Chain A
Amino acid sequence: MSLSPAAEEFEQIIRHQSAHEQVPFLLALEKKDVVAVREKLKSLKKELESIAQIAPNTWGSRGTSEQFAGMALSGFAVFSRREALSNLHRGWGLGGTNRKNYQAVQTNLLVILKAFRPDWLSDWLQARNNIAGGWGMDYALLRRLEEEQLVPHQPEVTARVVAMAIHIWGSELSDIDPVPLNSAEIIADKFRNDSVLLHRDLPLVFEFDTSILAGSGVRIQPPMPPGMDGLRAENGEYMYPWQVWNQQHPAQFVTWQDVFLRLVDSGHLDRADVITRCLLALRRDFRRLLLVWFKELFQALKPTLDERLANQAALGELLVHPLPLVANFAIDQLQGLLPEAGFSLKPLLLYADNLLTRPDLKTGIRALLASLLKLPRQNATHAPAVTRLLTTALPHPDGLVQERAAKGLAGILAAPQPLLSPAETAAAEAAISYHAELLGPAARTALANWLAPVAAAETAIEIAAYAPAEAFVPELSAATAITPVADWHELLFLTGQVLQHNDPAATERWLDGLLRLNGQLPTGYAGQLRPYLAQLFPQIKKASAAEAAILREPVDLYSHEGLVQAMLLTWATDFATRRVESVDVKKPHSVLNPLLGLEKQRYLLAEALLAGRQALPLLSTPTHQPSWVAPGTLITRLLAYQAAGTPPEPADLALALARTAHTHPTEAAEALRQLPTLADAGLRQLLAWFLGPAHLALPELPVAPAARLAATVHSNLAEALPELWAVATRTKAPAGVFPTLPAVLGYDYAGVSQPVHTTFEVVHRENNYPDPDQPGQTKTYRFVELSWSNGTKRAAPSALLLYAPTFGKSKYGSWEGNWMLTHDFPFLLALTPNYTAPLYEQILRSAAWADNLESSERDLIALALRALLSPGPAFGENETALLASGLIHNTALCRSLAQEVLLRAVANGRLQPGGLGGIIGQQLAVGYAPVPRLSTVLTTLVAVDALADDALCQLLEALLPELPATPPRNTRKLLELYASLRDRTRRAIPAEVNARFSIWKSVSSLKTANRLLA
C-alpha cells in the first residue's frame, strides 16, 4: 500500500525534524489526510515507544524525547477520543527535566489545542489525573486551557494540579541565579496575588485526594553542577560532593503547612475557615498520610479553646472515623474541652456505643474515661451522662479500659452523696449485670458489690501432681505400621510428593518402594517419569536433546534434596548413570552435621542395590511411624542380607540402630529369639546387649589394637564394629557413662564414654553509634547473646559416630546454612528418633543465640518446636533449652508453638518443669528477653487442666529463685501468675522461693504480688 504524501512528510518530521516544522505542518493538515497521519502516528508510536534491546545489557525505547514530544503533540491534533484515552499517555511532562524545553512544548501544545479544539480534552485530562495524580501539569497551563474554554473547570483535576503547584514553582526558584532566600514568602505571594487560586482553587485541596502528604514540600536549591569534587574536611573526614554543595548552598524547604500558615497569618486565608475545612477533611475516607497532614495543619494552627468549642460538633463527628488515627485525634481534642462550661456531652453520648466498644482504640478510650471521671466531682449533674458512658465501655475487650470504667462506676455508685436517681442507679446496675460475664478479673473486683457472687461455682478445682514419665515405649502396632508401596502407580505418583521434599515418611516409602519393585516396573516406565523431571529441569519440555544431556551430563545437586533428585535422575536412566555420588552434602552447610554424610551413604547403597537388581531392603527403612524400625524386622533384614551373602553396610546399620525401637518389650523379645540364627558373632553380641534389658551392663569387648584407625563409611562390618558399639550405647542410654568404650575404639570422643552436655555463656554486648537526632552524642544499644557450647574442639574421628556434636567453621551458623538446615532438619531428625539432643544443640547454636534474630532463625526454631510436639522420651537438656527459647521468643508464632509443645509435653510426660524453669530464669535474669513475653504465654495456659497447672507451678518454682535481687521489670506478672497457680494447685511455697520473696520484700513494684502470696 502506498503511503500518502502527508503521512510521508509527517514521518520525516517526526524522525528527523523538530517542532519548528511540525507545528506548521499540523496546522496546515487537510481533513482528508488526518486518517493517514493518524495511522502513521500509531505505527511510529509502536515502533519508537516499545522497549527493545538498544545496546548490550541495555534496554529501552528507541525514540528520543523530542520524538516523543512530537508524537504527543500530533496526537492532540489527529487522535479520536478512543485513541486519545487509550494511546496518548504522554502529555504535559514531555519536556522532561529541561524547563526551557518544557515551556516550548507547552506553547506549541496551546497552539495546536486552540486550532483543533479536541472535544475529548477534559475527559483525557481527568483520566490522566486519575493515573498520574496531577504530576507534571502546570497550574498556569490549566488556567490557560480554562481561559481559552478548551476545558471546563474540573474541581478534582484542579485540586490535584494545585497540590503540585509549589513543586513547579520551587523548581523555577531553584533555576534562578542566585536563588532568592525568601522562597517561602515568594511562593506564598503567588497565592496572594491570584484571587482565583486563593479563593476558588486552593480550598479544593481539602475536598479531594491529592498528592499532599504529611511533611511534603519542595526543596529549593541551585542544581549541583556535574563533575563537582568532594573534599577533606577540617576534622579529616571526607565530604562527598553533595555534602560540599549543601554546605555552600543550604537548601530551603517549603512545605504546604508553611504556605498555609503564612497565608493565614497575613490574613489572606480565613483562620476559622481553614480550621473547619481541616475537620471536614478529616471526616473523609482519605489516605492515612493525607489525613495526618490535615491533622498536623489543624494542630499547627493552634486553635484556641473558643475555636475548639465552636467546632465541638465537627470534632464529635470524628469520634467514629474508621481510622484510629482520626478517632484518637478527636478524643485528644475533646478531652481538653470536657471541663469547659460551653462543652456538651451530647456528641459523646450519641456516639458512645460506636466509640467506647471499639477494640482498636484502647489508650485513647482510657484517657477519655480518665477525663470523664473528673466531671461528676466538678458538677454532679454530669453524673448520669458519665455513668451511661462508663457502662457502655464495660464490655470493651481491653482489660484496662474495663478496669477504668468499672472503678469509675464503683466511685459514682458508692458516692457518699447519691449522684444518681434511683432509676438511674437501677439502670446502671442492670447494665453491670448484663455485662458481668464479659468482665475481666480487675473489673470484677472493682464492681464486686454490684455483681452476683459467681465465684462459688468455680471453687471445685481439680488437683493433680505432674511428674515426667520414666521411660518411653514407642507404639509399634498395626495403627502405626507403615504400609509399603503396593504397585507401580503408587510409586509413580509418590515421586511427585517426594520431589516436594517436605515429608520424610513419604521419601522413606518411596526409597523402599524403589527397592521393592526393582525389576517389576512396566516397560518404558522412564518416559512416565518425564513430567517429574520436567518439574526439576523445565528445559527438557522443549527439546529431547536437553533431556538427554541432563540425564547424561553432571548436574549440580546439593544437600538432602539433592540426594532425592539424584536418585530420580538415576532411576530415569534405569540406573545406567549413577548420580548420588556427585551430590554435595557439605558445601551449603555452614555447620556440617554427620548425619548427612551417613544419609548419602545410605542412598549410595540403595543406588547400588537397584543397579545390581538385588532384592534387598535397606536395614534402616522405618517400619512404624514416625521413623521407628521394629527390632524383629531389623533381625529379619539382617538374616536376608546373610542369606544373600551380602554383608550389611556399616552406615546403614548405624542408622538402623539409631532408629530401632529397642525399648519395645515384645518386639525386642521376638528379635532376641531370632538373634541366634545370625552368623556374625560380633554383631550378635552387640544386638543382644542393645535389645536386652535397659540396665544390662556392657559386656567385655575386645580392646582395640594400638594405633587403630577410626572406621570410615567404607570400612567393613568387622572394622566398624567398635563405632557401631558407640552408636548402640548412646542410642540405648543417651545419658549413660561407658568408661570402657574408648579402649574398644582406640580413642575417646565427645559422646563416646561420656554424654555431651550443652552449656551457654552469657555475653553482654553493646553497639555505639552517633545519635542522628542529637549531634555529638553517642547512642548505645546493649544486648545479650548466648554462646552455646558442647565442649568439642575437634571433628569426629569417624563418620560413623552419628551422634557426634556439630563442629563447624561458623559459631552461629549463617543464613544460607540455616536456610538449608531448615529444609534438611525434618529428614535428619527422622534418622535418630531415640536420641535427638545433638540435632537440637545445632538448632540452639544456629538460631537461639540472640533475641530478635531474623526469619531464617525463626523458621529453624519453629521447625524444631514442631518436632517436639509428638510423643517421645522425656526432654533432655537441649530439648528443654529449645522449649525455653520458644517460650520467650520474639515472634508470636514461636511462642504459640512453644505453648502447644508445653501442653503436649505435660500430657505425654516429656516436660522437665524444673529444668525449664531454671533455664528460663537464668535467661530472664540477664535480660535476654522481657518478662511479659513469658507471663503472657503462661497466663493463657492456666486452668487448661490440673496436670498443666501443677507443671506450670513447678516451672515457676524453679524460675523465681534464678531471678536476681533486683528483679527484672514486670516480675510482678510472674508473681501474680504464681499466686493464681498456687490457688489452683495448693502447692506449698518451696524454701528457695520463700528466700527469694524475702529478698524482694523491699521492692515496691512487687508489694502487691507479695501480698497475694502472703
Chain B
Amino acid sequence: MSDFAYAYAHPSTLEHSPEGNKLSLAAYAEDAPTGASCFFWGRLRDSWLAARGLTTLAKVVASRFVPQSAVLRDPIVTAGAGMLRFEAFSSCNGVYARLDLGPDALDGEFLSSGTTNVDFNEPMVNALARISRTEPVLLSVGDKEVVLERAAGKVTERKVALPERWIKGLTAVQGYLAIMEEKMALSRVQAVQLVQSIPAGTAKSDFFLVLRGPRPSFAPVSSPGAVRVGGVHRLRLLEGLLPLCEGLRVFGTADGQASAFVLAMGGGQEFMLALSAEVNRGFSGEGNQLDTLMDELPAEWIVGANNLFRGNETFNPMLFAMENDLAPATVDRLCASLSAMGLLGFDLAENHYFYRRLPFKMERILKLNPRLKNARALLEAVDDVQLVGIGTGGRTEARVRGTGVWHTVVVGGTEPPRCTCPWFTGNQGQRGPCKHILAAQMRFL
C-alpha cells in the first residue's frame, strides 16, 4: 500500500571523464520546490569515504532480516542547513541508516532546500565501489536542467511505490532517537574490535554490548551499563565502515527498545545506524509516538510549527520551548504530530531535529497510525468505551469493546496504563499503548 509513487526522469549514474567523475543522483521530490529540481551541485571533498558511506547505505536498503520480498533501494535525501542527509531503511524496516555529509564534506552549492528520493540503481552502486582514494567526484542531487515532461513512451524512468512503512518508520525512529542517551564512546581501535566481536551466525536472542576491560564485547545477558542490541548480526552492515571511522558513539533508549551507532568518519561525514529492539520488529510497527499523538493539537498550531521549522530547518526542542514560552510536553506533541507525517528527523550528534520537506498532509497522522485510528473509531461508537469508576489517585477503570470480549482498561494516575487485550499482554506497553488504552485515555483523561 502506498499513498504516492515516485518516478525518475533518468537513472542515477556515475560517469567517468578525464576531468573527474560525476555522480548524478536522479531525484524525485514529492514536495519539490517550484522551479527547482536540483538540490545540490558540487564536489565531494573525500569522495572515497563518501562512496564507502553510500555503499553501506545501499547495503542497508538491499538488506532484509526477515523473509520479505519487496525491496526498495532508493534512499531519501534531505538538503538543507548546509548538509546532505541520506536516509534509508532495510526492507524489513528494522534498520535505519543515515549518512550525513556536513559542510566540511561538501564543496559546492545548495541550489534549494528540500527532501527527495534518489535513485540507487545497481550499476551506480557497483560504480561507487570502484571509486579510488584520489579520484575527484562531482555530486549532483537532482537535475540541473528542469525536466518537466518526458517524451511519451520513454522507458528510462522507474516507477517505485514508496512504502508507507518508511514514513511510519521515520516517525518511530525520530521518536526513539530523541530520547536516546549516549552509552559508550569507542575509539577507532575499539570500533575494529567491535566488528570482530559480532557473534557468528544469525542471532536469535538479544545481545548486550559491554566493555570488558577496554574491549567491547557482545554478551547474551544484560549487565549494568550494557546496551541492548537486538538482532546483533544486523551490525554486520557496518563491517566495511567501522574500520574506517575515527570514533564510534553508541546510544540507546533507557528501556532498551532501540539502539544507535554513530560513526564519526572525519571530514564532516557521519554515519548512523539505528536498530529496532528485535529482528522481527520493524520501526514502522512501533507505537512509541502514540501517547503524544493521542491529543489532537489545533491544526493551526501544527501548520504554524510546520512553517516555522520549514524555515529554520533545524531546532533544539528544549531551546524552542524556552524561546517560545511553550511547555516541553506541547513541543513534544508538536514534534510528534509533524514527525507522524515524516517531516522531522533527529540528529543525535547535534541533539536537534531537522526538517524534511515532505508534503504536509495532516491525514497521514491517522492513516499511518492505525491504532490511533482504531481508537478514534471506538470513540465514535455510542457505548464502546464505558466508564466503570475512578479510583484512588485518579486511576480510572473503563470497559472497552474488543473482538468478542470486553476489555478492562485502567488509565490515569502515576502508574502506567494497563489493558487485558492480547497486544498489551504480549508487549506490556513496550511497543506503545493498544487502541483500548488510547480510547480510554482520550475519553476520560
Contacts and interface: CB of A to CB of B under 8 A. Distances in A.
B195 A359 contact: yes
Given A351-B132, A353-B133, A497-B428, A438 B204 contact: no
A909 B408 CA distance: 47
B213 interface: yes
A179 to B, nearest CB: 40
| Residue from the set A360, A527, A892, A896 with the largest chain B CB neighbour count within 10 Å | A896
B67 interface: no
Interface string A332-369: 00000000000000000011011001111000000000
B404 A397 contact: no
Contact of A531 (B200, B217, B391, B407): B407
A437 B239 CA distance: 18
A429 interface: no
A739 to B, nearest CB: 42
B48 A869 contact: no
B220 A493 contact: no
B324 interface: no
B405 A359 contact: no
Contact of B406 (A395, A492, A530): A530
A360 B55 CA distance: 15
B201 A892 contact: yes
A869 B129 contact: no
Given A285-B126, A354-B129, A900 B219 contact: yes
B397 interface: yes
B243 A438 contact: yes
Contacts of B125: 285, 322
B410 interface: yes
| Residue from the set A358, A359, A527, A899 with the largest chain B CB neighbour count within 10 Å | A359
Given A320-B129, A353-B132, A896-B220, A535 B200 contact: no
Contact of B221 (A283, A492, A532, A897): A897
Judged by DSSP, the binding face of A is: helix
Given A351-B130, A354-B129, A437-B189, A535 B406 contact: no
Interface in B237-276: 239-240, 243-244
B42 interface: no
A897 B217 CA distance: 12
Interface stretch (B85-93, B280-288, B313-321, B415-423): B415-423
Nearest to B204: A893
A685 interface: no
Taking residues whose C-beta sits less than 8 angstroms from the other chain, chain B's interface range is 35 or more
Interface stretch (A792-800, A833-841, A938-946): A938-946
B199 A284 contact: no
Contact of B200 (A395, A497, A892): A892
B196 interface: yes
Contact of B220 (A542, A900, A945): A900
A534 B197 contact: no
Given A531-B407, A534-B404, A893-B220, A357 B243 contact: yes
A322 B199 contact: no
Contacts of B197: 940
B207 to A, nearest CB: 8
Contact of B243 (A397, A531, A941): A397
B420 A531 contact: yes
B192 interface: yes
A897 B196 contact: no
Interface string B119-148: 000100110011111000000000000000
Given A283-B126, A285-B125, A397-B196, A899 B219 contact: yes
A903 B422 CA distance: 38
Interface in B187-215: 188-189, 192, 195-197, 199-201, 203-205, 207, 212-213, 215
B407 to A, nearest CB: 5
B2 interface: no
A117 interface: no
Contact of A541 (B192, B397, B404): B404
Nearest to A439: B189
A441 interface: no
B395 interface: yes
Contacts of A321: 126, 129
A940 B425 contact: no
A533 B247 CA distance: 53
Nearest to A498: B425
A971 B168 CA distance: 54
A496 B420 contact: yes
A351 B221 CA distance: 41
A489 interface: yes
B199 A900 contact: no
A807 to B, nearest CB: 32
B365 to A, nearest CB: 29
Interface in B312-353: none
Interface in B392-431: 395, 397, 402-408, 410, 418, 420-422, 424-426, 428
A892 B402 CA distance: 43
A703 B405 CA distance: 61
A528 B420 contact: yes
Contacts of B354: none
A317 interface: yes
A822 to B, nearest CB: 13
| Residue from the set B201, B405, B428 with the largest chain A CB neighbour count within 10 Å | B405
A357 B241 CA distance: 10
A542 B404 CA distance: 6
A320 B55 CA distance: 12
A899 B391 CA distance: 49
Given A437-B189, A892-B200, A944 B213 contact: yes
B218 interface: yes
A493 B424 CA distance: 10
Nearest to A355: B129
A437 B243 contact: no
A354 B130 contact: yes
A320 B240 contact: no
Interface in A872-903: 892-893, 896-897, 899-900, 903
Contacts of B205: 862, 893
A437 B200 contact: no
Contacts of A497: 425, 428
A492 B408 contact: yes
B139 to A, nearest CB: 19
A96 to B, nearest CB: 28
A285 B215 CA distance: 37
Nearest to B212: A944
Contact of A350 (B59, B132, B408): B132
A896 B218 contact: yes
Given A437-B188, A893-B205, A284 B122 contact: yes
A750 interface: no
A609 B404 CA distance: 33
Contacts of A350: 130, 132
A360 B239 contact: yes
Interface string B349-381: 000000000000000000000000000000000
Contact of B132 (A322, A354, A493, A899): A354
A33 B200 CA distance: 66
A940 B129 CA distance: 34
Contacts of B212: 903, 940-941, 944
Interface string B287-305: 0000000000000000000
A250 to B, nearest CB: 40
Contacts of B420: 492-493, 496, 528, 531-532
A360 B198 CA distance: 13
Contact of A500 (B196, B220, B426): B426
5 contacts: A322-B59, A353-B132, A489-B408, A530-B405, A896-B199
Across chains A and B, which 7 residue pairs bring their CB atoms closest together, nearest first? A541-B404, A496-B425, A285-B122, A531-B420, A320-B129, A493-B418, A531-B405
Given A322-B126, A395-B192, A489-B418, 14 more contacts: A285-B125, A317-B130, A320-B130, A322-B125, A351-B130, A395-B243, A438-B243, A493-B418, A527-B406, A532-B425, A893-B203, A896-B207, A896-B218, A940-B197
